[in-house]
Amino acid sequence: MRKTGLCGVVIATLFGTAGLLQHPSPHVVQKHHNQQNNSSLAQAGVNLLNSYSDPGSREAASSATLLPYGFLRVMQKPGPTPAQLEAYKKVVAARRVRFEETVAAQQAAALRAQAAEEAQAQAAAEAQAAQEAQAAAAQAAAQAAAAAAQAAQAKQSSSSSPEGGVWAELRACESGGNYAEDSGNGYYGAYQFALSTWEGLGFSGLPSAASPAVQDEAAEELQARSGWGQWPACAAELGLY
């Protein structure tokens, strides 16, 4: 009884398994269907790639999933021809020449601008030097004019009154104020003229023999020509120079 019951159980299990194999579940059926579809799509992709790689192959010709020849074909851009390369070289060379010419023109313009600035600076320096020289010349002329005016004023003041003032002091120092002084040392008159000096002034005879007015005139002319230095000792004593 036990052996017979065990066999029945085994047989029943086998029949149940066979029934499941013959009637799969809906989930299993859908999964199987999806796998078949994926397999078909994969095969179509492989065939399409084969058509791109070798459209004239036997596999591509025998495949029912191939697209028409040339459809969606990836075209490769052809490389430049030798003529195109040569033309490109010429264009590059022309651009380089234009660039070098532009740089040279800019450098020349910069040099010209620098030279103009240097010339302008030199002209400004020369103008300033000329102004300074002109100012110095004007100052020197003004000083000379002032000195001449001062000398003229001194001459006028000294010669305006030969009978008095500095001339009287000079006569007193030289000869004691004596117009007829003849000391025997070669000097004559109130101003002690040397005979050569007297004659050099255009007068004749002895100075001591001339009138006071003539001696005063000769003294004034001598002072105008040579200054107070013609009477060195008395001029220094009187503070005339």
Residue 177 in domain = yes
**What does the mean pLDDT of the chain come to?**
76
Domain that holds residue 207: 161-238
- pLDDT recorded at residue 163: 63
In terms of domains, do 143 and 174 share one?
Answer: no
3-class SS string, 59-75? HHHHCCCCCCCCCCCCC
In terms of domains, do 231 and 168 share one?
Answer: yes
Residue 33 in domain = yes
- Which residue would you say has higher pLDDT here, 157 or 220? 220
Residue 19 in domain = yes
Place 23 in a pLDDT band, splitting at 50, 70 and 90. Answer: very low
Tell me the per-residue pLDDT of 57-114, one tens digit each, with 9 for 90 and over.
444 444 444 545 554 455 556 788 999 999 999 999 999 999 999 999 999 999 999 9
In terms of domains, do 168 and 234 share one?
Answer: yes
Burial zone of 223 (CB within 10 Å; 0-12 exposed, 13-18 middle, 19+ buried): buried
CA distances from 50 to 57, 71, 86 (A): 8, 13, 39
Q: Please report, as a single letter, which amino acid is at residue 118.
A: E
Residue 86 in domain = yes
